Amino acid sequence: MNQSQDQRQSVMTHLLALRKILVICAASIAAAFFLIFSLAIDPLMGLILQPITARGIEVIYTAMSEALTTKMKVALIAAVVVSSPIVFWQIWSFVKPALYTHEKKAVRLLFFITVFLFLLGVAFCYGAVYMLAVDFFIVSGENLAVPMLSIDKYVSFLFGFVVPFGLAFELPVILYVTTRMGVTNYQMLASKRKFVILAVVVIAAILTPPDVVSQVLLAIPILLLFEVALLICRHVKPREQKEEAEA
């Protein structure tokens, strides 16, 4: 009976801790959203619209609430990004007690690498690929129709274009984690290299405009990241094997 009560108390303690974390995360995102929407939304929208306004294209909205809801969408995404350190810190504080000392160091390092690679992918896409895509679509529509871009559809297109790049740059982290868990290993990944190259080329063709330059600009970094991930996975042991070796 005492053991059952202890288990229930342990579950309740974890649920209360989880509720506290969720409240703090939601409050931090809400506060960031209010500040961004009140103070910084206009400069932020100007930065987002710069690639098309710089080309002399006007942005329109086709519904009464479209401009407001688009601003709110951008402010919410920016709020999540700004408050992400607080969110990740809360998640870290929740899972930290269940980790070994060496795992805590690895998770901290992995967190910074994950954030860096995602931001690197987004920045690379926006600076090197997205501008080419905008030029391609604008040029392809010349002498056919006058561009009148809806602000909501443009913002959705922008985030739908850059976010996959950020996620694609997480490939080394994903392969490291799967290798650490024993799902993948170096030999298996190396033997599938030709299939990975084919998949990357196909994905690059889908995500980018149908021109060789933009496809290469996406495919080459991902392939390089895959090779880097292979080098890392070559020296990574699954968790069970490592613990047995240490024992």
3 pLDDT higher than 70: no
Average pLDDT score over the chain? 81
- Give the residue, 65 or 237, on which the prediction is more confident: 65
Instruction: Specify the pLDDT at position 223.
Output: 87
Token couple for 91: 């998640």
- The answer, yes or no, to whether residue 247 has pLDDT greater than 50, is no
pLDDT, tens digit (0-9, with 9 covering 90-100), for 142-177 = 777 778 889 998 898 888 778 878 888 888 888 888
Percent of the chain with pLDDT over 70: 86
pLDDT tens figures, 48-69: 888 888 888 888 888 889 999 9
Residues 6+ apart with CB under 8 A from 214: 129, 132, 133, 136, 208
Helix (H), strand (E), coil (C) string for 73-126? HHHHHHHHHHHHHHHHHHHHHHHHHHCCHHHHHHHHHHHHHHHHHHHHHHHHHH
Per-residue pLDDT at 6: 57
DSSP class per residue in 205-231: HHHS-SSHHHHHHHHHHHHHHHHHHHH
Please tell me the predicted confidence (pLDDT) of residue 211.
Answer: 61
pTM of the predicted structure, to 2 decimals: 0.74
Report pLDDT for 32. Answer: 93
